Amino acid sequence: MEYEQLRDYYLRDDIQERILHFSKNREVALRYTDVFGKRPFVIENKFDMLQIRKKLPTSFHISEERWLNAHLLGTEKNQEERNQNRIGWDLILDLDGVSYEYAQIAGDIIIKFLKNIGIKNLSVKFSGNKGFHIAIPYESFITTDVPDKFGKYHPMSSLFPELAQYMALYITEQIKSELSLALINHAGSIDKLSELWNIALEDLVNDDKDAHHLNFLKLIEIDTILITSRHLFRMPYSLHEKSGLASIPIDPDKFLEFDKFEDAKPQNVSPKLYSEFEFLNYNSKYGKDGRELQIKAIEYFTQEIDFSNMTKQLEEKRRIDYNSKLGKTTLLSDAFGEVFEIDEEVSFEDFSPVIKEILQMDFEDGKKRALFVLLTFLYSIKWSEELIKDEVQKWNSRQTLPLKEQYIQAQLHWFSNQNSTISPPNYSNENYYKNIGVNSDVIEEDIFHFKNKRVKNPLHYVYLLLKTKPQDKNKKKKN
């Protein structure tokens, strides 16, 4: 998005007022194109808004949890301190699909279900691109003496994300039959769904007759099932980097009438138009109208739910979704490589020809993708933070048009805070090698370097190389 577009939109008084309103008691994250600012960040008053005006973000994101003091996030010594800081949380169903149409079909069914069980404090907003957020405010639930899965009673504020996950799961179970049938009818048949999204038929079909045999989690994602503490969602009225559209409230009674290409244009957004169905508004005359949903979800606590299997299915849906964005027709099963554990010191001489080439190249285009390859590789071989930073800085200095220092530092910070290793993309993903200018001959040299084994990615190259070298016990890394 152009700076002028951000300025004309975010500096409007009515938009600034809404940003301040939704930031109250929440952690805020500012995004600058494809990099998030430092967390935690808090917006408490107009002075904070003035600071933001100096450098406008492309989008605003807020926590589902409400905090007594969001400044303290990340300093807690244990879960008890985190629970004491959390004063509540709203149920946000983060709804996405392989297509906007599917997300809208699912959203309509969920809205009708929640209305049917008596929920009137129900609000909906467009995510800004191709999904929706369906919300029930914390005040709609019983917030004291809520039992957990062991029958012990707690304030509801301490049961995040567990209770939110079970609420989302209960809703999913209740609407799965109607949603599955609607998706099948939309496409014509399960076979057509399989063909349209290039999903193996056996992966789309399940044994649940009541759900019309469709495994809809391959097509629809209810992200709330997988949330963790400090999970963020796009703030109402925030713009979306990819679409340029605004994340605005939608009247639940007119959900299917919503036209994102017209209603969500920044120049057409006016908060006063949505005052009667503002996102997360609570009307006390409806009382604890989320009570039935809460009770049903608590009953689900007694069940052993395989969240890991759901996670795998939702991750596969994300691969399909990402593939469609790239305009490809095959799944990204090989988009990012298998992680090969390296337990020996790796020197520059051990690097694959592709990595050596990237380190010496001056990129006209694809610098960010090249940096991603370098960082995934260097962190995977367990180089120290100091060595990685030095190597990346030297690489960036070789560029005629180097990446901004802020972007470099943000990427280094993000990678250093990951709990698990991210492998470099596989060579089959041309978007990260061939399309950024790496010589095809060098890529082939990597792939076919070993006679009896085809190399998958730069990390795999090092892994195989070290296996073929004489073992030197003195080179083993200390724990």
Enumerate domains of the chain plus CATH numbers.
87-324 (3.90.920), 337-475 (no CATH)
List, edge to edge, every strand of the sheet that includes 123-126. Answer: 220-222, 91-97, 132-136, 123-126, 249-250
pLDDT at position 277 is 97
The fraction of the chain above a pLDDT of 70, given in percent, is 87
Q: How far apart are the first and last CA of the chain?
A: 46
Question: Does 419 have pLDDT greater than 80?
Answer: no
pLDDT digits (tens, 9 = 90+) for 360-390: 999 888 888 899 899 989 998 989 899 999 9
pLDDT band, residue 345 (cuts 50/70/90): confident
pLDDT at position 304 is 58
- 364 vs 240: which has the higher pLDDT: 240
pLDDT at position 5 is 87
Q: Indicate the average pLDDT of the chain.
A: 85
- In the block, residue with structure tokens 């703030």: 235
pLDDT band, residue 307 (cuts 50/70/90): low
To the nearest 10°, the Cα dihedral for 463, 464, 465, 467? 90
On whether the CB atoms of residues 475 and 381 are closer than 8 A, the answer is: no
- In the block, residue with structure tokens 């009247």: 251
Question: Does 336 have pLDDT greater than 50?
Answer: no
Question: Does 305 have pLDDT greater than 70?
Answer: no
pLDDT digits (tens, 9 = 90+) for 164-209: 988 998 999 899 889 999 999 998 988 888 888 888 888 788 766 5
Question: Does 271 have pLDDT greater than 60?
Answer: yes
pLDDT at position 255 is 96
Statement: the pTM of the whole predicted model exceeds 0.75: no
Q: What is the mean pLDDT of residues 210-228?
A: 77
pLDDT band, residue 156 (cuts 50/70/90): very high
Question: Does 23 have pLDDT greater than 90?
Answer: yes
Ranking 324-333, 345-354, 438-447 by mean pLDDT, the lowest is 324-333
Token reading at 99: 């297509």
pLDDT band, residue 16 (cuts 50/70/90): very high
pLDDT band, residue 281 (cuts 50/70/90): very high
The fraction of the chain above a pLDDT of 90, given in percent, is 47
Number of H helices and E strands in the chain, helices first, is 17, 13
pLDDT band, residue 146 (cuts 50/70/90): confident
Token reading at 163: 């209770």
Question: Does 326 have pLDDT greater than 60?
Answer: no
Token reading at 235: 């703030």
pLDDT at position 356 is 94
Ranking 38-47, 104-113, 269-278 by mean pLDDT, the lowest is 38-47
DSSP 8-state class, residue 333:
T
Q: Is the peptide bond before 57 cis (omega within 30 degrees of 0)?
A: no
